[in-house]
Amino acid sequence: MAKPNELREKGLRLTPQRELVLQAVRQLGHATPEEVAEKVRATQPGINLSTVYRNLETLENVGLVLHTHLGHGGATYHAAEELTHLHLVCSECQSIGDAPIETAANFVNTLSDDYGFKTDVTHFAIYGLCSKCSNKSSK
């Protein structure tokens, strides 16, 4: 999953921990550092949380992973190549829905045209009520 070369090419050393962190992020989709650590521990039980944090940061610096803010708590990490959708986070059931980035295209363009603001719509959650919960509460 994590090819040896892609890390070396970025000037990073190839350590088992680093490879496993990258692999975990790719497999998990959106994962908190804690979840990444847990996944990695399946292979490397001894890995330390701070190593996970440091590697996530390192991998983010070289552009292999990205983080987004989905809720009140901490960040969640994605493989950079998979961050192609909006996150629709439900305030009630905490579910995370996806929508294509294009959904926001007009909005992003308006902000750019009117305010010169270049929006990254994936970095923060789109917050609200999912269809299930909004049906439930209107009944």
List residues near DNA by CB under 7 A.
Answer: 8, 12-18, 32-34, 44, 46-51, 53-55, 57-58, 73-75
Pair 29, 78: CB distance under 8 Å? yes
Handedness of CA 79, 105, 92, 68 (dihedral sign): positive
CA distance 54 to 15: 13
Q: How far is the CB of 137 from a second copy (least distance, A)?
A: 10
The SS3 assignment for 78 reads strand
Contacts of 137 (CB under 8 A, 6+ apart): 92, 129
Among 79, 120, 136, 139, binds a second copy (CB under 8 A): 120
- Single out the residue of 38, 69, 96, 101 in contact with a second copy (rule: CB under 8 A): 69
Q: Judged by CB under 8 A, which stretch of 2-10, 37-45, 77-85, 111-119 contacts a second copy?
A: 111-119
Q: Which is nearer to a second copy, 17 or 103 (CB)?
A: 103
Residue 81 contact among DNA, a second copy, none, beta carbon within 5 to 8 Å by kind: none
